């Protein structure tokens, strides 16, 4: 296939970029919270099984579709089948990434804002000493439309500047620079947390298995998070895979991406809950844990100014690495399908995301009373974008990926393509697919297990089970 498409300079560059895509805001606060609330190590055990059953097969398939076609989600399906239905499945991924970024950019803006507030010492003032006052501060800031829009603008501008530079000079350099910093900061916070008084309680909260909390809904929650945490179903991994050469090994890369994503989530849990338990606060604060509870707790520590700044810098880096992969999906679509230049594609898509994100940003102030009723809940524009992407578009995307691989492209063709590329692992890698038993297991998983479980996640996420 003649293709002048840019490529990653190495497999390591792809792994760092893909891990950066997978590691987002959800890893820093959502995974630790839901793990602690749902049985700790028991939930973690189930989550890891879900990664193996759903996450890795779909991750392999999504990256493979990109590498095999050198196209975005729409172009990939068009290349492999003449059935126009699948072109619209690819469009679901582009739409999902666009929708996600419209609210993710607002949250990314919060992370940047709190990094600045930590830098100027806001969290070390006497008035900022309890989660209640921290929550009031967060609400006060969000009540100012210019504050929310300003940081949303800053966040999206950073993402745009990175993408304008291209794959190697933009995505790759940013990932090579930001991911090691993220890991370094996280390790500092983990070590700092482990030396605090009662740190063992925080570790036990995350790792002590409580099987009594495991039920059907907990398993579906683990399934859903295993699927979403790897950025599956939105076309990001397919787009990143399209920048691989045919010699790059997908299987080992998938293992490493899933491993890094899971390890970072676990380390974030250790860093957060050692601080929370050491301070004697409620560890079940959920989404409010990051912006309401942690600022005053971090500022109370010895060297609190430094650790508060590091934590929110960590949060911002996670948001940026995910943001660039999310926007790259729709950029690649315009470059591949409409033959736009990268600069034109980035500016057009970023402008569209920026405009669509404005109602999401105003959901916390000017448009806070403008809500839609659904399932006996009042949804703001921000809530609608989140619900549509997380509960509908992503599960649909993952479901159809499994169906396409199992029944349209065919497992034999999937495995044949997975065998293309170099494998340097004596434990994992492409050689496993040469084993007939493993190939049969992979076939059964992709054709039956993945579609059924992902569909159950969809039903659970929309409240039907």
CATH of the domain at 90: 1.20.1740
pLDDT at site 420: 80
- Say if 311 falls within a structural domain: yes
pLDDT at site 147: 97
pLDDT at site 96: 93
pLDDT at site 458: 86
- Say if 2 falls within a structural domain: no
pLDDT at site 312: 93
pLDDT at site 365: 92
pLDDT at site 3: 53
pLDDT at site 427: 41
- Say if 394 falls within a structural domain: yes
CB–CB of 100/360 below 8 Å? Answer: no
> What pTM does this model have?
0.91
pLDDT at site 286: 62
- Say if 150 falls within a structural domain: yes
- Say if 3 falls within a structural domain: no
pLDDT at site 108: 94
- Say if 5 falls within a structural domain: no
- Say if 6 falls within a structural domain: no
- Say if 259 falls within a structural domain: yes
Can you list the residues of the chain whose pLDDT is less than 70? 1-4, 284-288, 422-435
For residue 184, the enclosing domain spans 11-461
Number of compact structural domains in the chain = 1
């Amino acid at each position: 296939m003649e293709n002048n498409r840019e490529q990653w300079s190495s497999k390591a560059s792809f792994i760092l970029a893909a891990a950066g895509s997978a590691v987002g805001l959800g890893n820093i606060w959502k995974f630790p919270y839901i793990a602690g609330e749902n049985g700790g190590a028991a939930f973690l055990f189930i989550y890891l099984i879900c990664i193996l059953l759903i996450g890795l097969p779909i991750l392999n398939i999504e990256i493979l579709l990109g590498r095999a076609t050198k196209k975005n989600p729409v172009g990939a399906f068009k290349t492999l089948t003449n059935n126009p239905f699948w072109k619209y499945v690819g469009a679901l991924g582009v739409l999902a990434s666009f929708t996600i970024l419209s609210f993710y950019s607002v949250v990314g803006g919060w992370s940047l804002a709190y990094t600045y507030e930590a830098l100027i010492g806001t969290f070390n003032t006497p008035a900022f000493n309890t989660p209640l006052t921290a929550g009031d501060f967060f609400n006060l800031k969000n009540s100012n439309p210019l504050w929310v829009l300003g940081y949303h603008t800053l966040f999206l501008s950073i993402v745009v500047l990175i993408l304008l530079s291209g794959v190697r000079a933009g995505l790759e350099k940013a990932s090579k620079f930001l991911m090691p910093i993220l890991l370094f900061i996280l390790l500092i916070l983990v070590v700092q947390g482990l030396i605090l008084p009662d740190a063992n309680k925080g570790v036990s909260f995350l790792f002590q298995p409580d099987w009594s909390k495991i039920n059907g809904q907990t398993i579906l929650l683990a399934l859903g998070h295993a699927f979403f945490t790897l950025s599956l179903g939105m076309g990001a991994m397919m787009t990143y895979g399209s920048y691989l050469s045919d010699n790059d090994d997908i299987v080992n890369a998938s293992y490493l991406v899933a491993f890094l994503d899971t390890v970072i989530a676990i380390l974030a849990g250790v860093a957060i809950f050692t601080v929370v338990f050491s301070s004697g606060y409620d560890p079940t604060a959920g989404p409010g844990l990051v912006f309401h509870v942690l600022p005053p707790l971090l500022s109370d520590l010895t060297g609190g100014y430094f650790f508060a700044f590091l934590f929110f810098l960590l949060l911002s880096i996670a948001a940026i690495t995910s943001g660039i992969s999310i926007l790259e999906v729709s950029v690649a679509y315009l470059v591949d399908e409409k033959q736009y230049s990268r600069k034109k594609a980035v500016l057009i898509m970023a402008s569209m995301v920026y405009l669509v994100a404005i109602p999401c940003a105003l959901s916390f102030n000017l448009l806070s009373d403008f809500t839609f009723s659904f399932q006996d809940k009042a949804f703001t524009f921000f809530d609608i974008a989140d619900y549509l992407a997380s509960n509908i578009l992503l599960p649909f995307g993952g479901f159809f990926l499994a169906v396409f691989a199992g029944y349209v492209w065919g497992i034999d063709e999937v495995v044949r393509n997975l065998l293309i590329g170099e494998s340097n692992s004596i434990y994992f890698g492409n050689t496993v697919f040469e084993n007939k038993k493993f190939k049969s297991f992979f076939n059964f998983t992709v054709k039956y297990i993945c579609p059924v479980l992902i569909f159950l996640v969809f039903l659970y996420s929309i409240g039907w089970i």
